[in-house]
Amino acid sequence: MKFDKRQTNIAKGVALLLLLWHHLFYKHTSYFSLFDSAWLIDGIPVESCIAAYGKVCVAIFLFLSGYGMFKSGQSLQRRTLAAGKTLHVSDHVRYVKNHLIRLMADYWLIYLIFVPLGICFGVYFWEVYQENFGNGVLDFFALSFYFRTPSMNPSWWYMSIILAFYLLFPLLKKWADVLPELMLAVALGIMLWPEQWRHTEEFEKVSGYIEWLPPLLLGMLMARCNGFERIARRYPHWWQGALFAVPAVALTAYQRFMTSQDVRFDALFALAIILLCYLFLSHIPVLSSGLAWLGGYSGTVYMLHTFVFLLYGKEWVYSLRFPPLIFTVVLAVCLLLAVGIKYFKKLLRIDKLIAKITCQ
């Protein structure tokens, strides 16, 4: 069973659910009074305890991005060789440019819709940007996290991360092709980096990028060795996959608990969850189709969900009080908006314009 786009979307669907639950109920004392908890664990709502594990959604998205970018790079290389040509620097530049255009087109559309809309909810972008035009420009180009400047949406820090990794991809692809063992060693080294070294001034300056490299690198390495397909051949039946993946998820979840919810090992946690989706959940017809559909909208929902539950609709969202209801309503609203934006893009023929710009 090939690990294809459908399999990727199933995993993205699970990551999207984890993302929403994590942001709605994460372990922060200021949130505890916003909803009625089923029960408390040492004074902490059980929903918040579960939400702490939802942070792994970042590693899942990065892992899948690394996997997808490497496969796309392989495809580009095969097409070039089949045409009797060799890859040049210009080919790599064009590859990165096309991916950035597609990513930023979606981001800019969300920005142009939701940022001006903040005026209706008392969220004024001029105030958020501290009356600094440069801060607004950096946010518009998704660079706020890099320069540590204000952003209209706190969830957009991920955009700065993925932009940097896109730009570095040609070098990372070459690295994975030539020295995959060294790449694996670096990924593991970052995860095992001593705690006392993580609090140095030098590490803090680049920690936002370094700590999220392992899932990207492991995703690329899994793509290089066709790791998912190899594992699937070893566990061809759904029950075999479940017997392999469920303990893997439990083990990595326990490890996360033992490290006080530290994200440094989330690359392994993400791999275990993706394997569970691939080897088990994908065999359940209705569930897998639903998750794949959700995954197709994961990027759009990620970019806009914070506007819905926090920036513009916090009062009405948490007035529902019951966590499963809050989660369901926010998910439904975000998906309706995502579907609407998809048809809005179709109406404006944005995808056709992007295809022309990227020469596809």
pLDDT tens across the length of the chain (360 residues):
799 999 999 999 999 999 999 999 987 788 898 999 999 988 899 999 999 999 999 999 999 999 999 999 899 888 888 888 877 777 888 888 999 999 999 999 999 999 999 999 988 888 999 989 999 999 999 999 988 899 999 999 999 999 999 999 999 999 999 999 999 999 999 998 876 666 665 555 667 788 899 999 999 999 999 999 999 999 999 999 999 999 999 999 998 888 776 788 999 999 999 999 999 999 999 999 999 999 999 999 999 999 999 999 999 999 999 999 999 999 999 999 999 999 999 998 988 888 888 775
Task: List CB contacts of 191: < 8 A, sequence separation 6 or more.
Answer: 214, 264, 265, 267, 268
State the pLDDT at residue 202: 58
Q: Domain limits at 10?
A: 5-357
pTM, to two decimals: 0.94
- Cα(96)–Cα(93) distance, integer angstroms: 5
Determine contact, residues 132/147, Cβ cutoff 8 Å. no
C-alpha radius of gyration, the chain, whole number: 21
Return the closest-CA partner of residue 114 out of 103, 102, 128, 101: 128
Determine contact, residues 47/38, Cβ cutoff 8 Å. yes
Task: State the Cα angle at 26 between 65 and 262, rounded to 5°.
Answer: 60
- Cα(252)–Cα(265) distance, integer angstroms: 8
State the pLDDT at residue 150: 94
- Cα(3)–Cα(339) distance, integer angstroms: 26
Neighbours of 196 (CB within 10 A): 7
Number of folded domains in the chain?
1
- Cα(34)–Cα(322) distance, integer angstroms: 10
Token readout for 91 is: 């080919």
SS3 assignment, position 41: strand
Task: List CB contacts of 104: < 8 A, sequence separation 6 or more.
Answer: 141, 142
As a dihedral over the C-alpha atoms of residue 160, residue 153, residue 109, residue 328, rounded to 10 degrees, the angle is 110
State the pLDDT at residue 91: 80
